[in-house]
Structure 1
Amino acid sequence: MDMNVLLAFLTASFLVSMSPGAGAVNTMNSVVNHGFRSTIPTILGLEVGYGIQILVVAVGLGAILASSNVLFSVIKWIGVGYLIWLGIQKWISNPTFNPEHEYSSSNMKLFWQSALVNLTNPKATVFLVALLPQFLSSDTSTHPTQLLIMGTTLLVVDVIVMLCYASLASKFQRFITSDKRMRITNRIFGSFFILAALLLSSFKKAT
C-alpha cells in the first residue's frame, strides 16, 4: 500500500475506534468490576468479534448483509437485545465490595461476552463495507494483501484504543470503597449498555 494511503487509513481507524461505543463500555465495565487483569480476555473477545466482521466483509459477505434489510434487521435487533440484557444484569446485580478489585468471573465468560458485543453489531459491518473499498487500489491482484494490511491495522489500533479505555477505567477504582458505590458503578455501566442499545436500535443503513 502507498504510504499516504496507509497513513490516511490509520487515521480513520483511530477515529473509529476512539468513538465511544458498546466495545468501550464493555472494556471499562470489565476493568472496574473485575480488575485490570480482565483486560486481556475482554479485549481478546472484542478483537475476535471484530476480526470476524472484517473477514466477513473481506470475502464479500458483508456486502450481502449491508444490502439485505432482513439480515441487517435480524442482527441489529439481536445486538440490541443482548446489550439491553447486559444492562439489566448490571442493574440487578448485588456485588460485594472487594478492596483488591478482584471480582469472580471466568475469563471465558468475559471473552465470549465481549466477542458477542462486536459480533452482534451490524454498524461495524456497514462501516467496513463503506470504508475498506475507499482505500483499495485499482489493481485487484493486490487486494488480498491490502485487505490483510488493513484488517491487521484495524485490529491493532482497536487493541491500543481499548487499552487506553481500560487504563482510564482503572482510575475509577480508587473511588469504589463500599458495596453502595459498587452498585452505583454497576448501574452507571448498565445504563451505558442500555444507551448503546438504544443508539444501535435507531441506526439505519443507507439506502
Structure 2
Amino acid sequence: MLEYVLANFFVYASVNAFTPGPGNILALNTVTNYGWGKGKPLFFGIFTGYYVVQIICAVFVYGVGAFLPGALQVMKYIGAAYILWLAIHIAISKPEISAEQGSASFLKGFLLQFVNIKIYMFGITALTGFITPYSKALWILVGVELLIATIGTIATSTWIGAGLLIQKFYVKHYRMINIILALTLLECVWSMLKV
C-alpha cells in the first residue's frame, strides 16, 4: 500500500511540477526573449523562491498537525478537491503564453513564488494527502518539501532548456497532453482518498 501511495505521490509531484504554471511560463518566456545569460537571475530567483515556499509549507503542515491534528484529515479532502479542480482545469485549458515580459531579475523570480498559489497548494496537498498519514515528523515533512522543490526546479529547468520547442509542441498537442495529465491527476485523487 505504501509503495502505491508513494508512486502516486511522485506522479502527482511530476504532473504538478511539469504542467504550465506561473514559474514555468515566466521561465519559458524569459529564455525565449532574453536567452539563458540575461535570464539567469530570474531563473535562480524562481528556484530559490520555490525552496523557501516549500519549507514554509512544511512548517505550516507540521504546526497544524501538532496543534490541530484533526485538521490534517480535513486538509486531505481539501487537497483532493484541489487536485480534482486542477485536473478539470488542465483538461479544459488552452495554452496562454503571453509575450509580455518585464525585466529578468532575481527579485522578480523570487517574489513570483510567494504569490504563486499553485506551489502552496502543491506542497500542502502533497504532504496532507500522501505523507502525513504515515509520518508527521518535521524533518520528514521538510525533506519531502525539499524533494518537491527539487522536482519543481527540474521541471522549470526543463521548460527553460526546451524553450520554444516545448512551447510549439504543447501549443500543437495541448488538448491530448492536457487530457492525459488530467486523467493521471484523477488517479492521484483516488489514491489519496483510499488512505
With normalisation by structure 2, the TM-score equals: 0.55
Q: Partner of 1:168 in structure 2?
A: 162
Q: Deviations over 1:156-196 (max 9, x none)?
A: 11121112111221659xxxxxxxxxxxxxxxxxxxxxxxx
Identity of aligned residues (%): 20
Q: Any idea what SS the aligned residue of 2:163 has?
A: helix
Residue identity matched to 1:163: S
Report the residue type matching 2:114 in the other structure: L
Q: How many residues align?
A: 132
> How has the CA–CA distance of structure 1 residues 139 and 160 changed in structure 2, closer, same or farther, with 3 Å as cutoff?
closer
In the TM superposition, 1:14-53 aligns within 5 A as 14-38=14-38, 40-53=40-53
Could you tell me whether the CA contact under 8 Å between 2:55 and 2:146 is conserved in 1?
no
Q: How does 1:1-207 map to 2 (within 5 A)?
A: 5-38=5-38, 40-60=40-60, 90=101, 110-138=105-133, 140=135, 143-169=137-163
Gaps of 5+ in 1: 68-86, 94-104, 173-207
For 2:6 and 2:105, locate their aligned partners in 1 and report how far apart those are by CA, in whole Å.
33
More displaced 10-residue stretch of structure 1: 12-21 or 2-11: 2-11
Matches of 1:5 and 1:149, distance apart in 2: 17
Q: State the alpha-carbon separation in 1 of the partners of residues 122 and 152 from structure 2.
A: 15
Aligned counterpart, 2:69: none
Q: Give me the whole-angstrom Cα distance separating, in 1, the residues matched to 2:99 and 2:28.
A: 17
Offset, 1:114: 0.8
The residue number in structure 1 matching 2:83 is none
CA contact (8 A) 1:39 1:166 kept: no
For structure 2, the 5+ residue unaligned runs are 65-74, 76-97, 167-195
Residues 43 and 159 of structure 1 are in contact (CA less than 8 Å); yes or no, is this contact kept in structure 2? no
Q: Cα 1:156–1:88, aligned 2, differ >3 Å: closer, same or farther?
A: closer
Could you say what the CA RMSD is over the residues aligned between the two structures, in angstroms?
3.2
Q: Is 1:10–1:153's contact at 8 Å kept on the other side of the alignment?
A: no
Larger mean CA deviation between 148-157 and 15-24 belongs to: 148-157
Write the letter of the residue equivalent to 2:139: T
- 1:77 is aligned to none
Structure 1 stretch 47-56 or stretch 113-122: which is displaced more? 47-56
Aligned-pair CA distance for 1:57: 1.7
Q: TM-score of the superposition, structure 1-length normalised?
A: 0.52
Rounded Cα–Cα distance in structure 1 between residues aligned with 2:13 and 2:99: 31
Residues 1:54 and 1:45: Cα distance change in structure 2 (over 3 Å):
same
Tell me, in whole angstroms, the C-alpha distance in 1 between the residues paired with 2:45 and 2:18. 18
Change (3 A) 1:39 1:143: farther
Tell me how far 1:42 sits from its aligned partner: 2.7
Larger Rg computed on CA atoms: 1
Question: Aligned partners of 2:139 and 2:6: how far apart in 1?
Answer: 13
By how many angstroms is 1:88 displaced? 9.4
